[in-house]
Amino acid sequence: MAKRLQPILDDIARVTTLDELQQAIFALRDAFGVKHIIYHSVNSTGEQYAALTYDQKWVDRYLAKDYARIDPVVLGCYQRFHPVDWKKLDWSSKVARSFLAEAIEYGIGNQGFSIPIRGPSGQFALFTLSDDNTDENWAQFTANNVTDLILVAHFINQKALEIERGTDILPEQQLSPRETDALTLLAMGYSRAQAADSLSISEHTLRVYIEAARFKLGAMNTTHAVARAMARGLLVV
């Protein structure tokens, strides 16, 4: 995936308009081989922006019905900081099940994977993939690609913020408490398994925190991320 992804990331780096970012979303969809990719952002003033591959009929339907009020993906991801498979969200209500059935009718797909993003000044965004697939194949796909997806999600979000602000200089992104904890334990010499056990999380979740921190710090790898965090005084070891 990395070899196919790099040319697209290079193209995204050269994007200067929201229309160009929309085209980049289509290229990412094809690179990952999924049915749809969606980037949706709400800034601190409530202004929204979306770049997506959904059929316009579904977009119009979603907006007309104000489905964001009941969408389990939106409601569930707003309370989370790590990627989530749609199957792990709460679809128990009749309204939620009806919404999902309608979404599938409009070609959204029966599987989904969303990455919540917290940006500067209260910005919240979602980077989502959806597809038609079996539970087993989808779980394998997301497990194999989660690291790339996290990096791409934050890369897209940063580019959207640059376009919105008219500059490529953004405020320094702060590490979340969990991201700080993860890097601190690694700096103290803990293995990933030991760090995950100490934080009472899975190694998969630990990796999510580490990759998010690595992106925020502009680090090439985990060791580089720890070094940069320590140099900035973000870690107390």
Instruction: Please work out, in degrees rounded to the nearest 5, the angle formed at the alpha carbon of residue 100 by the alpha carbons of 94 and 103.
Output: 140
Q: For 192-214, give the DSSP string.
A: HHHHHHHTTS-HHHHHHHHHHHH
Indicate left, alpha or beta for 233 from its phi (over 0: left) and psi (-120 to 50: alpha).
left
pTM of the model: 0.69
pLDDT of the residue at 168: 39
Q: What is the pLDDT of residue 170?
A: 46
Domain with CATH 1.10.10.10 in the chain: 177-231
Low-confidence ranges of the chain (pLDDT < 50): 167-170
Mapping DSSP onto H, E and C, the string for 178-194 reads HHHHHHHHHHCCCCHHH
**DSSP notation for 164-176:** HHTSS--PPPPPP
Give the pLDDT score at 220.
67
Q: What is the CATH number of domain 2-165?
A: 3.30.450.80
Predicted confidence at residue 165, as pLDDT, reads 66
Per-residue pLDDT at 32? 93
Beta strands per DSSP E along the chain: 36-42, 48-52, 84-85, 111-118, 124-131
The pLDDT tens digits for 147-166 are: 889 888 988 988 888 887 65
Alpha carbon 6 to its chain centroid, in Å, reads: 18
pLDDT at 11: 84
Integer CA distances (angstroms), 179 to 21, 57, 64, 157, 199, in order: 28, 39, 38, 18, 11
Other Cβ atoms within 10 Å of 205 Cβ, number: 17
Architecture of domain 177-231: Orthogonal Bundle (1.10)
Which residues in the chain are classed under CATH 3.30.450.80?
2-165
